[in-house]
Amino acid sequence: MVLVSVAAILFALVAILNIPNFRGMFEAREVFNSFSEALIAKDYAMAYNLFAPETKANVNYGKFVEIENKLGERAGALHSFGISEMETKGDDDNLVTTIHANFKFEKGIIQFEYVLKKEHGFWFVYRFDEL
């Protein structure tokens, strides 16, 4: 009984100390969901607006649309997505979330890794790569 109580107290302390990470994880997930839903709707302008400023500096809107169109040619229409792994690190001023996601296309499932960062109080899609 004492061991269970100690374990519960330790778990509560760890949870309290990681509250910014838990809150950040949920905030990042909301942005990721909005980004992914925009991709499904082919609302590339909406998805692009969720990119971090430095990502936009490296990939202009036309290039982003070209990447998405080539992916559509290869895999077919995007139907849905799901998160298989998610991890948030850092403190409230410098949070980074890595998401491994499965995107279900007309021709199959493709896995991607997304990195989201919180900058000046807002979450942005910083990077994405096909796995």
How far apart are alpha carbons 14 and 80 in whole angstroms? Answer: 34
Chain mean pLDDT for the chain = 87
Confidence of residue 94 (pLDDT cuts 50, 70, 90): confident
Confidence of residue 13 (pLDDT cuts 50, 70, 90): very low
Token readout for 36 is 């992914």
Q: Is the pLDDT of residue 46 over 80?
A: yes
pLDDT number for residue 8:
56
CA 25 to chain CA centroid, nearest Å: 9
Mean pLDDT of 45-53: 97
CATH number of 19-130: 3.10.450.100
pLDDT number for residue 91:
75
Q: What is the pLDDT of residues 19-36, one digit of tens each?
A: 555 677 789 999 999 999
pLDDT number for residue 52:
96
Confidence of residue 106 (pLDDT cuts 50, 70, 90): very high
SS (HEC) of 71-107:
HHHHHCCEEEEEEEEEEEEEECCEEEEEEEEEEEECC
pLDDT number for residue 26:
84
